[in-house]
């Protein structure tokens, strides 16, 4: 292995490791903090949250980002072993080529899912794609040992490496990381009841108010029924960001009286079977889940059923949704209710298309659209308070309860 090859492999390995560590850090905070806003959620196209929390963001509950940390660490350990052991170093490039071949298949699949299914660009993901492709090209051009011959030499080349302290530490750290990394679990509204945000500091509130007043209003065709503030959310039960906003904003909404603040949920499944505005099947069970949500609302059991749906985003199927709405909401005649329910879903989706909804969740507060990247809960509350004040109902805004 030449010095130039070692340097290039090292740089690509470090790039991939840095991107994977950053992605793992973001994924961790998305799981443990419903109010967390990722720095790489830049706009409607460039975003990390949807990719990390989608079904493509984990394998058997283990984040793909963490698997990337393991992959690139292994590459760097091989390079280190090759620089210290001439016998092992003879085949290191070929071992890296074999690993990067597997990695290339993985990143091509993930890139397809990101660009064509989720229709988003994840900056950290793209960095790992570049790193894997770089490793593949450089190692492939420098490999001198056929991949078929590697298995026969592996026991000889890596015997000493396998027992090295750094290797044992790597194995232990890998097992610990996989076992200890938090898994996505169902979260109930009651568990989030104490998460109401503290009011914004005066300076931030003033700055946010200036920004909010500049936002254009649109006519949202939903009746306020004399409420001072109307909040309309277009949502998809298989959308990770919809789940985050649901639990982050629930304790904020709970502070207001229904006659002051009216919240309306509109179904906007990302699936062309019930939402023609969507191109490509993004969430395969979204239509069934949306229709079941309508049925659960009609029985007064929408809240516990929503908890179930958001807790099973990655593994829900039409059959499991049917069973859950029967067991939780008492809907025993799903097929009978389905035509009317799916018609309501299609009506919601059509309203969303009229309002140029392009992502989920999309919120409108008195006709003002929230930005693509979900507002932290404190800003969401501030927007409601501003609208209440503008409506001459400042007294209706929570004062003492906002810091619960």
- DSSP assignment string, 260-289: TEEEEEEE--S-TTT-TT--S-SSTTHHHH
| CATH, domain range 190-403 | 3.40.30.10
Domain locations in the chain as residue ranges: 3-180, 190-403
- The one-character DSSP state at 346 is H
pLDDT at 395: 45
Q: Which architecture characterizes domain 3-180 according to CATH?
A: Up-down Bundle (1.20)
Q: What is the pLDDT of residues 102-152, one digit of tens each?
A: 999 999 999 988 888 777 788 999 999 999 999 999 988 887 766 666 666
Does the pTM of the predicted model rise above 0.85? Answer: no
Of 190, 236, 223, 249, which is closest to residue 54 (Cα–Cα)? 236
What pLDDT tens digit does each residue of the chain (404 aa) get? 678 888 999 999 999 999 999 999 888 887 776 567 778 877 656 778 778 877 788 887 788 999 999 999 989 888 887 776 555 556 788 888 988 999 999 999 999 888 887 777 889 999 999 999 999 999 888 877 666 666 666 666 665 555 566 666 777 778 887 777 776 654 544 444 445 677 888 999 999 999 999 999 999 999 988 899 999 999 999 988 888 889 889 899 999 998 899 999 999 999 999 999 988 777 899 999 999 999 999 999 999 999 999 988 878 999 999 999 999 999 999 999 999 999 999 999 999 999 999 888 999 999 999 987 667 888 999 999 999 999 875 444 454 333 32
DSSP string spanning 147-165? HHHHHHHHHHHSHHHHTSH
Work out the number of other CB atoms within 10 angstroms of the CB of residue 231: 25
């Amino acid at each position: 292995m030449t010095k130039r090859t070692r340097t290039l492999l090292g740089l690509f390995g470090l790039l991939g490791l840095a991107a994977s560590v950053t992605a793992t850090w973001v994924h961790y905070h998305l799981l443990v903090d419903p109010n967390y806003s990722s720095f790489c959620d830049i706009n409607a196209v460039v975003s990390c949250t949807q990719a990390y929390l989608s079904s493509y963001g984990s394998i058997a509950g283990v984040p793909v980002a963490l698997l990337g940390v393991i992959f690139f660490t292994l590459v760097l350990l091989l390079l280190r072993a090759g620089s210290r052991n001439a016998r092992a170093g003879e085949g290191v490039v070929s071992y890296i080529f074999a690993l990067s071949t597997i990695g290339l298949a993985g990143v091509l699949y993930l890139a397809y899912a990101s660009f064509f299914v989720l229709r988003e660009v994840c900056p950290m993901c793209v960095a790992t794609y570049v790193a894997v492709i770089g490793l593949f090209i450089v190692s492939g051009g420098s490999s001198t040992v056929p991949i078929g011959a590697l298995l026969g030499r592996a026991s000889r080349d890596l015997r000493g490496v396998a027992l090295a302290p750094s290797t044992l530490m790597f194995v232990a750290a890998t097992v610990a990381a996989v076992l200890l990394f938090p898994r996505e679990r169902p979260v109930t509204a009651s568990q989030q009841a104490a998460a109401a945000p503290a009011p914004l500091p005066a300076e931030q509130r003033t700055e946010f108010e200036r920004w909010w007043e500049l936002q254009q209003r649109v006519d949202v065709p939903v009746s306020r029924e004399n409420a001072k503030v109307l909040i309309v959310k277009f949502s998809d039960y298989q959308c990770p960001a919809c789940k985050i906003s649901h639990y982050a904003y629930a304790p904020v909404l709970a502070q207001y009286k229904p006659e002051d603040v009216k919240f309306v949920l509109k179904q906007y499944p990302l699936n062309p079977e019930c939402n023609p505005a969507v191109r490509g099947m993004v969430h395969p069970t979204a239509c069934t889940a949306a229709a079941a949500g309508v049925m659960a609302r009609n029985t007064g059991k929408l809240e516990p059923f929503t908890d179930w749906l958001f807790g099973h985003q990655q593994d829900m199927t039409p059959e499991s949704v049917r069973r859950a709405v029967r067991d939780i909401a008492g809907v025993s005649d799903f097929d009978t209710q389905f035509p009317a329910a799916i018609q309501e879903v299609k009506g919601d989706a059509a309203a969303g298309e009229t309002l140029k909804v392009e992502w989920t969740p999309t919120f409108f507060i008195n006709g003002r659209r929230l930005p693509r990247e979900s507002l932290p809960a404190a800003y969401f509350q501030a927007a409601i308070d501003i609208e209440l004040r503008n409506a001459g109902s400042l007294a209706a805004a929570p004062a003492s309860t906002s810091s619960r």
